[in-house]
Structure 1
């Protein structure tokens, strides 16, 4: 749990992901398209990935990935991300983290 919280607090836009997850890929592409500089952490490439996945589930992410954190706060998984995006709220949350050349 500590590593998840540490990474989320150190990176403005943080996505916990798995390299084989197509929804994780879609979320990463969405964030890139809107200009957010997201740090993507692949759990399947981390020796502590299984423990981190369990921590994400305890935090309320089910399934565990993708899990989006903005400003250290858990936003949620694919359903929450897409719902916010369709309502136009995701960009408001991401605005402080969107690169200036994308505006």
Structure 2
């Protein structure tokens, strides 16, 4: 999990994903549409990806560890949490506070 924490702190928004996950694509696209430059870590293309996904699944309390979204180095959650924040109007302020949005 140290590797996950290190990666999660490299950008304002980091998304742990797999290339075949439609929900990962959806959440990544949301951030792109908001104008956020995310770092996407494709776990199926990383030699340590399987280990990282298992750790993320434990953190998320789910069987799957992706997507896992970190904002400002802190775990926000998966697609449902990100969408909930967006629909409630709380995602953009969170992104501004993390330095991911300037406007």
Greater helix content: 1
Cα offset, 1:60, TM superposition: 2.1
Q: Can you give the 5+ residue segments of structure 2 that lack an aligned partner in the other structure?
A: none
Q: Which residue of 2 aligns with 1:18?
A: 18
Cα offset, 1:76, TM superposition: 0.1
Q: Which residue of 1 aligns with 2:74?
A: 73
Q: Which residue of 2 aligns with 1:90?
A: 91
Distance in 2, Cα, partners of 1:11 & 1:76:
16
CA-based RMSD of the aligned residues comes to 1.1
Q: Which residue of 2 aligns with 1:33?
A: 33
Question: Which TM-score applies when normalising by structure 2?
Answer: 0.91
Distance in 2, Cα, partners of 1:61 & 1:68:
14
Distance in 1, Cα, partners of 2:26 & 2:53:
19
- Moved >3 Å (runs of 4+): none
Question: Which TM-score applies when normalising by structure 1?
Answer: 0.91
SS of equivalent residue, structure 2 residue 93: helix
SS of equivalent residue, structure 2 residue 9: helix
Cα offset, 1:90, TM superposition: 0.6
Contact preservation (8 Å) 2:58, 2:65: no
Q: Can you give the 5+ residue segments of structure 1 that lack an aligned partner in the other structure?
A: none
Cα offset, 1:58, TM superposition: 2.0
Q: Which residue of 1 aligns with 2:54?
A: 54
